[in-house]
Amino acid sequence: MSQRKAPSDAGRATIRDVAERAGVSVASVSRVLSGNYPVSDELRRRVMKVVRDLDYVTNAHARSLAGGGTPTVAILINNITGAAFAHVAKGVEGAATLRGWLSLVGTTGDDPERELALVNLMRQQGVAAVVLLGGAYDYDEYQLRMARFARSLDAAGSHLVLVGRPPLEGDVPATTVDYDNESGAYAMASHLLSAGHRKILVLPGHAELTTARSRLNGARRAFEAYGVPFDPGMVRHGPYDYEHGYEAVETSLREGADFTAVLAGTDVVAAGAMQALRAAGLRVPEDVSIVGYDDIPLASQLTPQLTTVHVPYEEMGRVALRAVADRREGGPGRRRGTDGEHLVLGTHVVVRNSVAPPARRD
């Protein structure tokens, strides 16, 4: 047995093995498999038989080296188990699959360093696009680094897509898919205000998170519009999780805060808040109203069902992928023209059963 001709060896079969065994050239095998070149039926038959016998599949790495290959989109996400952005990922993945694209997934675990490392890793993979999911941190340095990434990717023929965060400032070659965060918060706060609530506990999220800022701003604008003074003391920042919702409400109650409604930054926070109210013997919505944000499945599974803001997460994912696919098919001619594209999707309030007019307390 020669040294490098061992078709039945441990490794996978190569196109050469197939060609040899079928008594044809490798070029012919390649042509039969890709089907973009006329071949005789006889040849096709012979090749396909050997392909089946050897259970041959083409080597994707070699293929993409040689110019072919399936486009791949990289999805970078904080935490797969977070419902909201898992839906975005689903949207991206679904749309990618529909076009025969592949999706790579990396999780950043809220660590900017890992985010950096991952973007570079994806650049090595030669992905068609990197989709970054979730709210961003508003450091200057962070923003600068993102801009550098965007340019690096662009220079390498790839592209950066930001989903669920505001666009980068300046002339940066990145696409942003966003939703109208502030308006959603405005509408949600208005809903509470128009129900008669005036003392509202606000749990917008982490102070540095862009998402949280927008939601807080929207709420504040609604207060202004209703002529209600906005009390900064009624705002409690914290992570977007159940525990924060629970503790914020628990602490507020213990400290004797006076409120008839809770405006939570996300549905999960609202769930925590609801539980804390129950634990304190308060009824929702009879004693205290609650609203959330995101409209994840949990919102309609709680009792009472949560009034919240619907965000089209899955649709955002699809839109994100469509944006990069279009750009890629548009060819190099329009590459520079569509820089800094910003797509904004709408939100709307979903009214369920967690809001009632304020009760008379004391």
Query: What are phi and psi for residue 250, nearest 5 degrees?
Result: -60, -50
Minimum CB separation from DNA for residue 3, in Å? 8
329-348 residues near a copy of itself, rule: CB under 8 A = 332
Is residue 156 close enough to count as binding DNA by CB under 7 A?
no
Is residue 328 close enough to count as binding DNA by CB under 7 A?
no
Is residue 2 close enough to count as binding DNA by CB under 7 A?
no
Q: Which residues contact 80 (CB under 8 A, 6 or more apart)?
A: 86, 89, 105, 107
Considering only residues 201, 222, 253, 298, which one is a binding residue for a copy of itself as defined by CB under 8 A?
298
Residue pair 179/185 in contact by the 8 Å Cβ criterion: no
Residue pair 356/190 in contact by the 8 Å Cβ criterion: no
**Contact code string over 10-29 relative to DNA, x by CB under 7 A:** -xxxxxx------xxxxxxx
Which of helix, strand or coil describes residue 206?
A: coil
**Which of these, 105, 149, 101, 92, lies nearest to 128 by C-alpha position?**
101
**Contact code string over 70-89 relative to a copy of itself, x by CB under 8 A:** x----x---xxx-x--xx-x
Number of residues that bind a copy of itself (CB under 8 A): 58
Minimum CB separation from DNA for residue 25, in Å? 3
Minimum CB separation from a copy of itself for residue 325, in Å? 18
**275: enclosing H helix or E strand:** helix 267-279
**Which of these, 91, 76, 238, 94, lies nearest to 165 by C-alpha position?**
76
225-244 residues near a copy of itself, rule: CB under 8 A = 242
Residue 292, judged by CB atoms within 10 A of its CB (0-12, 13-18, 19+), counts as: buried
Hey, which residues does 77 pair with through a beta bridge? 107
Nearer to DNA, 27 or 207 (CB): 27
Residue 274, judged by CB atoms within 10 A of its CB (0-12, 13-18, 19+), counts as: buried
Q: Which residues bind a copy of itself (CB under 8 A)?
A: 10-12, 55, 57-65, 69-70, 75, 79-81, 83, 86-87, 89-90, 93-94, 97, 102-107, 114, 120-121, 123-126, 152, 155-157, 242, 268, 271-272, 274-275, 278, 297-298, 300-303, 332
Q: Which residues bind DNA (CB under 7 A)?
A: 4, 11-16, 23-31, 33-34, 36-40, 42-43, 56, 58-59, 62-63, 65-68
